[in-house]
Amino acid sequence: MPPPHQLVVEADGGSRGNPGPAGYGAVVIDPQTGEPLAEAAEYIGVATNNVAEYKGLIAGLKAAKALFPSDDAPRVHVRMDSKLVVEQMSGRWKIKHPDMKPLAAEAARILPPASVTYEWIPRAENKHADRLANEAMDAGKRGRQWEPSSSTAALDAASPAVPLDLPPVTGPPGDAVAGAAKARAAMASRATTAAPVAPATTPRTGWGTAPDLGAPATFVLLRHGETVLTPEKRFSGSGGSDPELSVAGRGQAAHAARAFADRGTIQEIVSSPLRRCRETAAAVAGRLSLDVRIDENLRETDFGAWEGLTFGEVRERYGSDLTAWLASPDVAPTGGGESFAEVADRVSAARDRLIARHQGRTVLLVTHVTPIKTLVRLALGAPPESLFRMELSAASVSTVAYYADGNASVRLLNDTSHLR
269 and 148 part of one domain = no
136 and 238 part of one domain = no
Q: Catalytic positions, please?
A: 224, 300
240 and 358 part of one domain = yes
132 and 242 part of one domain = no
236 and 148 part of one domain = no
CATH number of domain containing 22:
3.30.420.10
140 and 238 part of one domain = no
For residue 242, being part of any structural domain is answered with yes
For residue 45, being part of any structural domain is answered with yes
Mark which of 153, 173, 202 sits at the end of a domain.
153
For residue 362, being part of any structural domain is answered with yes
Q: Give the sign of the dihedral formed by CA 134, CA 138, CA 143, CA 148.
A: negative
> 62: how many CB neighbours lie within 10 A of its CB?
18
DSSP string, 317-385: HSHHHHHHHHH-TTPPPTTT---HHHHHHHHHHHHHHHHHHSTTSEEEEEE-HHHHHHHHHHHHT--GG
124 and 37 part of one domain = yes
Residue (of 22, 20, 2) closest to 12 by Cα position: 22
258 and 365 part of one domain = yes
Dihedral angle computed from the Cα positions of residues 356, 359, 365 and 368, in that order, rounded to the nearest 10 degrees: 60
Question: What angle separates helix 49-66 from helix 127-141, to the nearest 10 degrees?
Answer: 110
148 and 221 part of one domain = no
228 and 326 part of one domain = yes
Contact of 382 with 198, CB cutoff 8 Å: no
Mark which of 102, 124, 153 sits at the end of a domain.
153
Which residues are annotated as part of the binding site for substrate? 276
Domain range for residue 312? 217-419
Residue (of 66, 10, 26, 29) closest to 163 by Cα position: 29
For residue 165, being part of any structural domain is answered with no
Mark which of 106, 135, 153 sits at the end of a domain.
153
List the chain residues with pLDDT less than 70: 1-4, 70-71, 149-213
For residue 191, being part of any structural domain is answered with no
Would you call 307 helix, strand, or coil by DSSP? coil
Contact of 18 with 48, CB cutoff 8 Å: yes
Q: Give the sign of the dihedral formed by CA 332, CA 49, CA 238, CA 400.
A: positive
Model pLDDT, residue 405: 76
Model pLDDT, residue 313: 96
Model pLDDT, residue 241: 84
Long-range contacts of 415-420 (CB under 8 A, 24+ apart): 418/255, 418/256, 418/258, 418/259, 419/252, 419/255, 419/256, 419/395
H-type alpha helices, 240-299: 247-263, 275-288
Contact of 23 with 41, CB cutoff 8 Å: yes
For residue 249, being part of any structural domain is answered with yes
For the chain, the domain total comes to 2
233 and 102 part of one domain = no
Model pLDDT, residue 95: 87
- How far is 251 from 180, CA to CA, in rounded Å? 68
Computed over every residue of the chain, the mean pLDDT equals: 84
For residue 26, being part of any structural domain is answered with yes
Model pLDDT, residue 70: 66
Contact of 42 with 24, CB cutoff 8 Å: yes
15 and 138 part of one domain = yes
- How far is 170 from 75, CA to CA, in rounded Å? 12
CATH number of domain containing 245:
3.40.50.1240
Model pLDDT, residue 198: 35
Would you call 10 helix, strand, or coil by DSSP? strand
- How far is 325 from 327, CA to CA, in rounded Å? 5
Model pLDDT, residue 180: 41
